A and B are shown apart, each in its own frame.
Chain A
Amino acid sequence: MATRWLPILWRLVQTIPVVIGVVIISFVLTRALPGDPAVQFAGQMATPESIEQTRVALGLDKSLPQQFLIYCKALLQGDLGRSVATGRPVLTDLSTRLPASLELTLTALVLSCLIAIPLGVLAAVRQGSWVDHLCRVLVTAGVSLPTFFTGILLIYVFYYLLGWAPSPLGRLDFVYFDPPRVTGFFLIDSVLDGDLRTFAGAAKQLALPAITLALFTLAPIARMTRAAMLTALSSDYIRTARAAGLTPRKVLFGYAFRNALLPVVTTLGMVFSFVLGANVLVEKVFAWPGIGSYAVEALVQSDYAAVQGFVLAMALLFVLINLVIDLSYTLIDPRIGFSSK
């Protein structure tokens, strides 16, 4: 059993240099940003003296290597610094905003998988049928409609015209209280609290932004599923399975689908990491207090600590997602082992 875990441990060790690299790059990049944070935060009425004062207070008067050392030391103690814009520690900001983004992204992805994968499979099995055409239309629509547009369209139809959806303002309507924080996911926390009304409220609030994102992520997943299924179905082993008299169901799911899963999982991982950063538009449209909008605000205000914290958090998340994908590969495909790398 030890030999089984060793490669996984090794894979984890391999991520350390990546993280160190990210720390360095995020530090250098934020310093390379245009704009002087001291000027920004000294305020409108600043005099050269007060700007200088702010600079010293922010520690920006020291040399870059010195600043970096200070940053690293704090980082090792789990201190990401204080956001100048919000006035709170970056860690606190991230820990409230990251779950919001994750909740939105994960819900959207689950939703999109539930539609895209069966659609892709059906489109591959019934090539040229109406399902295939529907798949093509959805895929094209999904990629060509920008998220802010679908978002606004959905708000217009379901909130303004039909009145089905609650006002698109954040994660929870003001009539509800935030559920006691356990995971930071409102859906889970409210269930843990046994408060089903809050759960319903959070779900309603989540529905439109999640659908918006799901429509966007539908395309790559459905397309990859269809292509992978077509490849799998035309393989020799499918013919063997059919010649052995296996039922179509067994051939399709036991043989073809499992083989097609590998590229689908790869795509899923890529889409996930991509969407996590790219859903800033959806967050803006729905006033979702997520990490994307936080990062954009921080960037605009040259809020070094917040930007660095964001980049670091995203990098760690990417590393984690890639790790999970690699691990799921080994579960799906016995040919892929860590030892071969």
Chain B
Amino acid sequence: MLSVKGLSVAFQTRKGQVDAVRGISFDLAPGETMGIVGESGSGKSVTSYALMRILDAGGRISAGEVTWTGTDLRAASEPAMRQVRGREISMIFQNPRAALNPIRKVGHQIEDVLRQHGRATRSDAQAKAIEALEAVKIRNAAERYHAYPFELSGGMCQRIVIALALACDPKLMIADEPTTGLDITTQKAVMDLMRELIHERGMSSIVITHDLGLAAEYCDRLAVMKDGQIVEAGPSAALFANPQHPYTRKLVDATPRPGVAIRDLLPPEIRTPDLPHEVGSRALLEVVDLVKTYPGKSGPVHAVKGISFTIREGQSVGLVGNPVAGNPPRRRCWCGCWTRPRARSCSMGTRLAAFRRNASCVTRAGGRCRWCFRTRPTA
């Protein structure tokens, strides 16, 4: 169905020509799901852009052949290419919120695609767009039709992007890092939805990801890319169980499983010894029934609903949860420098909750308790 032979993509930059993709070949059968795995900069996304011929200015296919159901996509005219894009091959992207036009209603964006490919007329476009939204299991599709991307969650935006991609019943869907920028539970929901829709419609798909575990779970076949070349390819299970190329082995090792720590990713020779450390008995931070509420538009928002834990000397405690679960307010509560939390007791030798918003107290607490914030990917 899709056949790629010796595809190379080169970018003209100020520092000269950069070969992003160097002679890769693969075939895709109807109904097959293939995963392209590799680290960022390995050329996996560029490959997909090249297939669609939507490379940025300066990029061009320098060699190779791309054949799509008998048509040579490299030689196809631009108008012919537009017929392929969206109708035969469609794409979904990472960072779904940014992938949608921020100032156009999502329903209208779907209508644009439907009408471009003659799937709807002015009169029935709205109904068909709502159908497309329902197809990706969006509840209250008629209401969501009028929503703007900023009013929707990341997972919801990705569903819209999928609806957009599937609106014209393409035969192949390319998903470029479809879960990047989503939190972990949404990732699974989105991937399951995608798999279901693809199977339902008998489509082929290419999943591009840096996450080998994810690719192995959802794809029939994998190709591992590094520096613009495919270093290893094969059925997912075999590749995962018995990686041949050292790079694939590294990737397999890097896939999180219980009992594997970050330090296991390092080559054994540069690993620092795992020093045994003492967990003291003295409680440094003791949090008892911490409650934090914010004034919200519709009543107070309970960000933290009575949590308790203790950090002892030398101990590390991980707080795990979805981004909405309220970690940052909790962190701020400890030091009492946000607003005074309502906690029965929150002690570090001193009762932090009893602090007024007194600068010297906060500074003292801050001096003994440091925290680093993660940087949030800007949407």
Contacts and interface: CB of A to CB of B under 8 A. Distances in A.
Interface of A: 127, 234-237, 239-247, 250, 254-255, 258-259, 332-335
B113 A245 contact: yes
Contacts of B56: 234
Interface stretch (B83-91, B198-206, B335-343, B363-371): B83-91
> Could you tell me the dominant secondary structure of chain A's interface residues?
helix
Contacts of A241: 101, 112
B145 interface: no
* 6 interchain residue pairs of minimum CB distance: A245-B86, A245-B85, A244-B86, A236-B98, A243-B91, A237-B101
A299 B84 CA distance: 68
Contact of B52 (A236, A243, A250, A335): A243
Contact of B103 (A234, A247, A332): A332
A243 B53 CA distance: 9
A245 B101 contact: no
Given A236-B98, A237-B101, A334-B148, A245 B93 contact: no
A250 to B, nearest CB: 7
Given A236-B95, A239-B54, A335-B150, A244 B101 contact: no
B165 interface: yes
Nearest to A233: B57
Contact of B82 (A245, A258, A335): A245
Interface in B142-174: 148, 150, 161, 164-165
A242 B55 CA distance: 10
B249 interface: no
In this complex, the member of A240, A247, A254, A258 whose beta carbon has the largest number of chain B beta carbons within 10 angstroms is A240
B195 interface: no
Given A236-B93, A254-B112, A242 B148 contact: no
A335 B85 contact: no
Given A236-B99, A237-B99, A237-B102, A245 B161 contact: no
A243 B54 contact: yes
B148 A335 contact: yes
Interface string B56-91: 110000000000000000000000001111110011
Given A239-B54, A246-B82, A247-B82, 18 more contacts: A127-B57, A235-B98, A240-B93, A241-B112, A242-B85, A243-B54, A243-B85, A243-B91, A244-B113, A244-B165, A246-B86, A247-B116, A254-B112, A259-B102, A333-B102, A335-B102, A335-B103, A335-B148
Contacts of B331: none
B98 A245 contact: no
Interface in B210-237: none
Contacts of A243: 52, 54, 85-86, 90-91, 93
Contacts of B148: 334-335
A255 B105 CA distance: 12
B112 A246 contact: yes
B117 interface: yes
B188 interface: no
Contact of B117 (A245, A255, A332): A245
A235 B98 CA distance: 8
25 contacts: A127-B57, A236-B93, A237-B98, A237-B100, A237-B101, A237-B102, A239-B54, A240-B91, A240-B99, A243-B93, A244-B112, A244-B116, A245-B83, A245-B85, A245-B116, A246-B113, A247-B116, A250-B116, A254-B104, A254-B112, A258-B103, A259-B101, A259-B103, A334-B150, A335-B103
Contacts of A247: 82, 116
A266 to B, nearest CB: 15
A244 B90 contact: yes
A189 B117 CA distance: 50
Contacts of A258: 103-104
A341 to B, nearest CB: 14
Contacts of B113: 244-246
A255 B84 contact: no
Contacts of B98: 235-237
